[in-house]
Amino acid sequence: MVSKVLCGNVYGLTAQIVAVEADVQSGLPGFEMGGSLSSEVREARERVRVALKNSGFAIRPQHVTINISPANTPKGGTAFDLAIAVGTLAANGLVEEAGLEESLIMGELSLDGSIHAVRGILPCIVKAKEMGLKRCIVPYDNAFEGAVIDGIDVYGAVSLKNVADFLNGKADSLEKVSHVDYANIAKAALKEEHSDKENIDFADVCGQESAVRASMIAAAGGHNILYMGAPGSGKTMMAKRIAGILPGLSLKESLEVSEIYSIAGLLDNTAGLITRPPYRSPHHTITLKALIGGGKVPNPGEITLANRGVLFLDELTEFKTATLDAMRQPLEDGRVTLSRCSNTYVFPAHFMLVAAMNPCKCGFYPDKNRCTCTESEVKRYKARISRPLMDRFDLCIYVSTVKYNDFSDSDKGKKGRTDTEDIRRRVAAARQIQHDRGILNAELTKEEIKEYCRLGNAEKALLEKVFEKLSLTARGYYKILKVARTIADMEESRSITERHIKEAVTYRV
Ligand SMILES: [Zn+2]
């Protein structure tokens, strides 16, 4: 007798609904599995056999054949265990088949029959809904991932026995997840972030008005920003605060980000979804594979985990040149393409690149009293970052060393300095203007720049002068316009004025 159970499969970042077919025959006992399975999936055989026994199901020795179709997509992970066990039970007539064709069943089994969390539940629930399935039975520890998905019932399961009872009509064997509005999750997450304000408030950044302003512009337009400055000048501190001033994610963005985190096994189940822009800060020893994404069936790298958020690279010059240069295309396209055998995987990588570096080896250039480097050493140090990568930064800001006065100011209280709440409001207002226009300033194409960054004659003349004086590349020229657009948006000014351009130019030095 053959039974069929629907299960979710994730390869790359793609979720698909697959059918786990189970056939049992009397005869020589055995357990065969097929359908482009990784060794991890094949190990399900032992887990399922023992879990069935320990859950109290008396199954006579028999020959079991499992096929997971379609066979042409690679299958990995442990999420098929539960579906294989249920399929085996159904083929033996121990579980009713009615309802199986409209249920997604996923989970890893432990030898005692309990069900463990797996990766990729969220995208599979979304896919199941798209396919018109009625309900999902998933590990209890993952069930909350489905809480915002409307129109499909999600049940959390703790043991194989409970699942079998449920399928046999005991409706109260599994707990149904109650639906939660996205707005409520987002509100709770923001509240939690604010309670953490001590750690992320710009008010803690002393005496760096111009750098704080640059950070605000970067966040408002989604621009890549590079901080240069001596050790201890607070550049890392500022970079870390950028994610905190970005507006929250829309439901669509949140699902995109949360699906990636669900697949990477990084989604915090108590929160359900990620509602704030992600912040990733890999160490400079990171491999190219971990940054860009890699593996036989590729896993998302840091640039994809930072999608719709911030990727912070501290001590930029310490990263391997090849690793950094691999980011150039994704920075341009907002996605990364990875080719494996016959498959091509495209991962989103819409992130804001925030980086920090010392201006020279000793860190004190251009302070002639403290810098011990020669001019050529300074040049060589900066050359560690290739020109094309340098060109990807819309803003470059020199962070000066904090003076004593700035520190003593902070003792008088945080009055007078810009705080995060105020910055966040201004960033959100500028973002709203861009939202209405339909595109983020950092992502404007040449054609869109022509449309949205129109200049008067005086502005044109100014920019021409700058172009020659700084011997700008075409890319550099457009970056100035994009940043000027953001500065104008922050002032709710429709036109870009000379003042906006002048300020934008200061961030290109
Ligand atoms: Zn130096």
Compute, in angstroms, the gap from residue 367 CA to the centroid of ligand 1. 8
> What φ, ψ does residue 425 adopt, rounded to 5°?
-65, -45
Query: Looking at residue 413, what is its pLDDT?
Result: 47
Compute, in angstroms, the gap from residue 237 CA to the centroid of ligand 1. 22
Q: Which domains does the chain have, with CATH numbers?
A: 2-176 (3.30.230.10), 204-429 (3.40.50.300), 441-509 (1.10.8)
What is the pLDDT confidence band of residue 367, given thresholds at 50, 70 and 90? confident
Compute, in angstroms, the gap from residue 201 CA to the centroid of ligand 1. 31
Compute, in angstroms, the gap from residue 477 CA to the centroid of ligand 1. 30
Compute, in angstroms, the gap from residue 227 CA to the centroid of ligand 1. 16
Compute, in angstroms, the gap from residue 232 CA to the centroid of ligand 1. 15
Compute, in angstroms, the gap from residue 321 CA to the centroid of ligand 1. 21
Residue 357: partners with Cβ closer than 8 Å, 6 or more residues away: 226, 227, 228, 315, 316, 317, 385
Q: Is the pLDDT of residue 159 over 70?
A: yes
Determine which of 414-423, 452-461, 467-476 has the lowest per-residue pLDDT on average.
414-423
Q: Could you write out the DSSP letters of every residue in 412-455?
A: T-STTS--HHHHHHHHHHHHHHHHHHTS-GGG--HHHHHHH---
Compute, in angstroms, the gap from residue 311 CA to the centroid of ligand 1. 27
Compute, in angstroms, the gap from residue 363 CA to the centroid of ligand 1. 5
Compute, in angstroms, the gap from residue 360 CA to the centroid of ligand 1. 5
Compute, in angstroms, the gap from residue 381 CA to the centroid of ligand 1. 9
Compute, in angstroms, the gap from residue 372 CA to the centroid of ligand 1. 5
Compute, in angstroms, the gap from residue 195 CA to the centroid of ligand 1. 40
Compute, in angstroms, the gap from residue 366 CA to the centroid of ligand 1. 8
Task: Could you list the beta-strand ranges (E) of 44-94.
Answer: 63-69
Q: What angle do CA 490, 492, 498 make, to 5 degrees?
A: 80
Residue 146: partners with Cβ closer than 8 Å, 6 or more residues away: 121, 122, 125, 136, 138, 152, 154, 177
pLDDT average, residue stretch 262-274: 86
Compute, in angstroms, the gap from residue 230 CA to the centroid of ligand 1. 9
What is the sign of the dihedral through the CA atoms of 208, 212, 214 and 215? positive
Q: Could you write out the DSSP letters of every residue in 155-177?
A: EEESBHHHHHHHHTT-GGGSEEP
Q: Is the pLDDT of residue 415 over 90?
A: no
Compute, in angstroms, the gap from residue 218 CA to the centroid of ligand 1. 27
Compute, in angstroms, the gap from residue 483 CA to the centroid of ligand 1. 30
At 113 the three-state DSSP class reads: coil
Compute, in angstroms, the gap from residue 400 CA to the centroid of ligand 1. 14
Residue 284: partners with Cβ closer than 8 Å, 6 or more residues away: 313, 314, 315, 316, 318, 319
Half-sphere exposure for 508 (CA within 13 Å, toward CB): 24
Q: Which of 32, 27, 29, 26 is nearest to 65 (CA)?
A: 32
Compute, in angstroms, the gap from residue 406 CA to the centroid of ligand 1. 24
Compute, in angstroms, the gap from residue 399 CA to the centroid of ligand 1. 15
Burial zone of 296 (CB within 10 Å; 0-12 exposed, 13-18 middle, 19+ buried): exposed
Burial zone of 482 (CB within 10 Å; 0-12 exposed, 13-18 middle, 19+ buried): buried
Half-sphere exposure for 318 (CA within 13 Å, toward CB): 13
Compute, in angstroms, the gap from residue 236 CA to the centroid of ligand 1. 19
Compute, in angstroms, the gap from residue 396 CA to the centroid of ligand 1. 19
What percentage of the chain reaches a pLDDT higher than 70?
Answer: 95
At 487 the three-state DSSP class reads: helix
Q: Which two tokens stand for residue 190?
A: 């923001």
* Residue 273 to residue 358: CA distance in whole angstroms: 37
Q: Could you write out the DSSP letters of every residue in 207-241?
A: S-HHHHHHHHHHHHHT--EEEEE-TTSSHHHHHHH
Q: Which two tokens stand for residue 199?
A: 């750690």
Q: Is the pLDDT of residue 342 over 80?
A: no
Compute, in angstroms, the gap from residue 373 CA to the centroid of ligand 1. 4
Q: Is the pLDDT of residue 282 over 60?
A: yes
Mean pLDDT of the chain: 90
What is the pLDDT confidence band of residue 366, given thresholds at 50, 70 and 90? confident
What is the Cα 237 distance to its own chain's centre? 21
Q: Is the pLDDT of residue 405 over 80?
A: no
* Residue 77 to residue 355: CA distance in whole angstroms: 35
Compute, in angstroms, the gap from residue 293 CA to the centroid of ligand 1. 35
Query: Looking at residue 416, what is its pLDDT?
Result: 46
Determine which of 12-21, 62-71, 358-367 has the lowest per-residue pLDDT on average.
358-367
What is the pLDDT confidence band of residue 197, given thresholds at 50, 70 and 90? low
Residue 479 vs residues 228, 241, 244, 448: alpha-carbon distances, Å: 19, 23, 24, 13
Query: Looking at residue 471, what is its pLDDT?
Result: 84
Residue 374: partners with Cβ closer than 8 Å, 6 or more residues away: none
Q: Could you write out the DSSP letters of every residue in 490-505?
A: HTT-SSPPHHHHHHHH
Give ion ligand 1 contacts, CB < 5 A. Answer: 360, 362, 365, 371, 373
